[in-house]
Amino acid sequence: MSKPLGSRFPLMSRGMTAVIVAQFLSAFGDNALLFATLALIKQELYPEWSQPVLQMAFVAAYIILAPFVGQFADSFAKGRVMMFANGLKLLGALVICFGFNPFLGYGLVGVGAAAYSPAKYGILGEITSGDKLVKANGLMESSTIAAILLGSVAGGALADWHITAALMICGLAYAAAVAANVFIPKMTAARPGQSWNPRRMSSTFFHACRILWGNADTRFSLVGTSLFWGAGVTLRFLLVLWVPVALGISDNTTPTLLNAMVAVGIVLGAGAAAKLITLKTVKRCLPAGIGIGVVVVLFTLQHSMLNAYLLLALIGVLGGFFVVPLNALLQHLGKETVGTGNAIAVQNLGENTAMLLMLGLYSLVVMLGAPVLAIGVGFGVVFALAIAGLWLWQIKQKRKI
């Protein structure tokens, strides 16, 4: 494998700049498309419980393709893998834009995202090295969250104006991401020449699962990031129902603005994590995880727009501080054991399984008619307890050493 570019160039090299720009455009499209498609299914009078099902179609692709996408990312130049994946996202957006089934189209975007994720994180370990890896993850998360911020707001606001125009702009964002991928240097594939036999690929993937879940540090990272992203995607849909109940507002823009405040906070939290936490001090992020659950409870009980904005920004700060170090830890240890692409694929399986389970549970309680405020309070309490349990488990593991 070629020597990491990060050992020869500054952090913001041409390659890193291209990766960050491509990631921003791709994530912008993902988030704008979600809210534009939510507006579409509301216009077409789908039931409320079907809204999380849209995201479930997206994450199901991650779970089904998990045994294959890590090897796919490691078998080719990761910049080209990212280009191919963004092309699939563009195709999915066009499916929705031209009036075909929105769940099918968004599921196809999920296929592209599943292929994209191991490549976008795996390439960081190839173009950076050492302590720059945490900083590179901070840049990646900041770019992603800035895209969530702008994409979410754009998707909701444009959908309030014209749903078809919103969907077309999402397609243009994906096309621009494909163009940005051209400027990523073509590096040597990390693990070329592996078998493409599906049975053997599955065996290799599940072997990587056993290695990573069997190691205390990587298991800690996998559990933490899975809980975080499962909770994060559930909170996004909770906001869609919370806004009309707590604030009395029924447009598409307000939930996206509230989601944007979480995004702003995560950018700040990711930046703080890059400065204050190293690979040796990753466990300092755990109190922030508990704080997320506590603040979610406080937020759910609000009826003031200002308080809602402030508390959601705080949730974002805590979230960024919590998840960035865990990502860096997994990439560092995964690169040394099963390959970064396989490690991220295993992480995606855990995270998307958590998303699917949490969204399924959320959809069920909405279908059964549970009050939105009760759902929010219960969600925050359970998350805080889960992170506290992870912290206690980590302390117990440390004492065994």
SS3 call for 9: coil
The DSSP code sequence of 278-299 is -GGGGGGGHHHHHHHHHHHHHH
pLDDT of residue 397: 67
Asked whether the predicted pLDDT for residue 24 surpasses 50, the reply is yes
The DSSP code sequence of 179-209 is HHHTTS--PPPSSTT----HHHHHHHHHHHH
Low-confidence winner among 9-18, 97-106, 216-225, 236-245 (lowest mean pLDDT): 9-18
| Angle between helix 305-337 and 198-214 (nearest 10) | 110
Q: Average pLDDT of 349-377?
A: 85
Which tokens go with 78? 């990761």
Low-confidence winner among 5-14, 195-204, 289-298 (lowest mean pLDDT): 5-14
| Cβ atoms < 10 Å from Cβ of 280 | 8
Dist CA 351 CA 347 (whole Å): 6
Q: Where are the alpha helices (DSSP H) in 243-370?
A: 253-276, 286-300, 305-337, 340-367
Which tokens go with 2? 């070629």
pLDDT of residue 241: 83
Q: Domains along the chain? A: 5-400 (1.20.1250.20)
Distance of CA 44 to CAs 95, 162, 163, 221, Å? 16, 14, 12, 40
- Residue pLDDT, tens place only, 145-170: 778 778 878 887 888 888 888 888 98
Mean pLDDT of the chain: 80
Q: Do residues 321 and 288 touch, judged by C-beta distance below 8 A?
A: yes
Asked whether the predicted pLDDT for residue 100 surpasses 60, the reply is yes
| Cβ atoms < 10 Å from Cβ of 332 | 21
Asked whether the predicted pLDDT for residue 213 surpasses 50, the reply is yes
Low-confidence winner among 47-56, 220-229, 377-386 (lowest mean pLDDT): 47-56
Q: What are phi and psi of 359, to 5 degrees?
A: -65, -40
pTM (whole model) above 0.75: no
| Cβ atoms < 10 Å from Cβ of 49 | 14
Q: Name the band, by pLDDT with cuts 50, 70 and 90, for residue 132.
A: low
Distance of CA 397 to CAs 61, 165, 245, Å? 33, 53, 43
Dist CA 357 CA 362 (whole Å): 9
Distance of CA 36 to CAs 31, 265, 299, Å? 9, 23, 25
Asked whether the predicted pLDDT for residue 7 surpasses 50, the reply is no
Q: Which residues contact 211 (CB under 8 A, 6 or more apart)?
A: 218, 337, 338
- Residue pLDDT, tens place only, 25-84: 988 998 889 888 888 888 777 777 777 777 788 888 878 887 777 767 776 777 788 888
* Percent share of the chain, pLDDT over 90: 5
| Cβ atoms < 10 Å from Cβ of 15 | 21
- Residue pLDDT, tens place only, 280-334: 777 777 888 888 889 999 988 888 888 889 999 999 899 888 888 887 777 777 7
Q: Name the band, by pLDDT with cuts 50, 70 and 90, for residue 204.
A: confident
Low-confidence winner among 5-14, 114-123, 211-220, 354-363 (lowest mean pLDDT): 5-14
Please calculate the CA angle 72-149-315 and round it to the nearest 5 degrees.
95
Distance of CA 59 to CAs 63, 65, 118, 167, Å? 7, 10, 14, 20
